[in-house]
A = this chain, B = another copy of it.
Amino acid sequence: MIQFQCDYNEGAHPQILQRLLETNMEQTVGYGEDDFCAEAKKLIRQACENENVDVHFLVGGTQTNTTVIAHTLRPYQGVISAITGHINVHETGAIEATGHKVLAIDSADGKLTAQQIEDAVLSHLHEDGPEHMVQPGMVYISFPTEVGTIYTLSELQAISTVCRRYNLPLFVDGARMGYGLCSPQSDITLPMLAQLADVFYIGGTKVGALFGEALVIVNESLKCDFRYSIKRHGGMLAKGRLLGIQFATLFTDGLYMQIAQHAITQAMRIKQALQAQGIPFLIDSPTNQQFPIFSNTQLERLSQKYLFSIWQKVDAHHTAVRICTSWATKPENVDQLLKDIAG
């Protein structure tokens, strides 16, 4: 079976493994205070064109989301999120486990609008008794979203403006950051995020690393004592060097963007092949996740050879699936898929 069901089917980019091998017996101090982490932080600050951001490395996405949100909110505050947000659906209540409500807002395409955020804030501020409701305390968005869509620069600017007006830190979940930045439709860059967001992360797990997310804290007020929060949430890796080595490799000579671009190229090939066959999509995604709606006959046929993610039943005869590419997707596997789609 050729696996397209997610973007973490393989290990790590070979350069990362190579670097782990070379440095394996060097001795370092623990918990992310080693020189490899220092180097990786420097490289990420450079990529963000911002010397003042704090950078921390965590192991996984749910852990990062939980740690950031619990660190940012006051106890009685909640986090605004699209109803499709990863924190609202697929983290087994990890956010609620820290005592905070996810204030979920309807969304057809995985995105929030500035207007929706403003409406949500105002609906929680009626003059008498706002204290009977959770206070909106921050905004969570994903770039790209869980359904592959991306914000434009002007959408992101509008959201950032509303967030600052209401003093809501803006947190961008970038589990698939590279695949968003490299989308042919994207006009967003890391330096822009380092201006418009208060805190965001650059996903490694899905973009070339064995594991790991690089968290970038822009807002001064969120920096203090962040390492306490990492430790409290079980996210402080003893051999922190492993994260430093991986991100230093990814941010040397543009490797991160280069391998993300590969995934996008392969995804666009698949998308065009599907379109060429007139196969409809659940959502129009410009990134590495594609959501075609197959007839059950088509799906049955393709499933003999390929593993997809079953996304949702559309009707009795049609099913939307998720097809993912990644840094590791082999072009020859895509070639084959293209033939089978055509066939």
Contact = CB atoms under 8 A, between A and B. Distances in A.
A210 B8 contact: no
Given A27-B3, A229-B75, A238-B205, A132 B92 contact: yes
Interface stretch (A15-23, A184-192, A248-256, A288-296): A15-23
Contacts of A133: 89-90, 92
Interface string A126-143: 101111111100000000
A7 B9 CA distance: 31
Nearest to A9: B27
Nearest to A99: B97
Nearest to A25: B10
Q: How many copies does the complex hold?
A: 4
A281 interface: no
A224 to B, nearest CB: 9
A39 interface: no
Contacts of A91: 132, 231-232, 234
A63 B234 contact: yes
Nearest to A75: B70
Contacts of A71: 75
A59 B76 CA distance: 20
A98 B93 CA distance: 11
A234 B60 contact: yes
A15 to B, nearest CB: 11
Report whether over half of chain A's contact residues are helix, strand or loop; otherwise say mixed: loop
Given A98-B75, A131-B227, A242-B11, A2 B17 contact: no
Interface in A1-54: 1-3, 5-6, 8-12, 14, 17, 20-21, 23-31, 33
Contacts of A66: 234
Contact of A228 (B21, B131, B211): B131
Given A59-B59, A96-B99, A99-B96, A232 B75 contact: yes
Contacts of A211: 237-239, 242
Contacts of A62: 231, 234, 236
A10 B31 contact: no
**Which among A27, A29, A94 has the highest number of chain B CB atoms within 10 Å?**
A27
A28 B5 CA distance: 10
Contacts of A30: 6, 8-9
A233 interface: yes
Contacts of A14: 24
A133 B98 CA distance: 16
Contacts of A23: 11
13 contacts: A3-B27, A9-B29, A11-B26, A21-B21, A67-B234, A91-B132, A92-B131, A96-B99, A96-B134, A99-B99, A131-B225, A132-B236, A206-B238
Interface of A: 1-3, 5-6, 8-12, 14, 17, 20-21, 23-31, 33, 59-63, 66-67, 70-71, 74-76, 78, 89-94, 96-102, 104, 126, 128-135, 205-206, 210-211, 225, 227-239, 241-242, 307, 310, 328
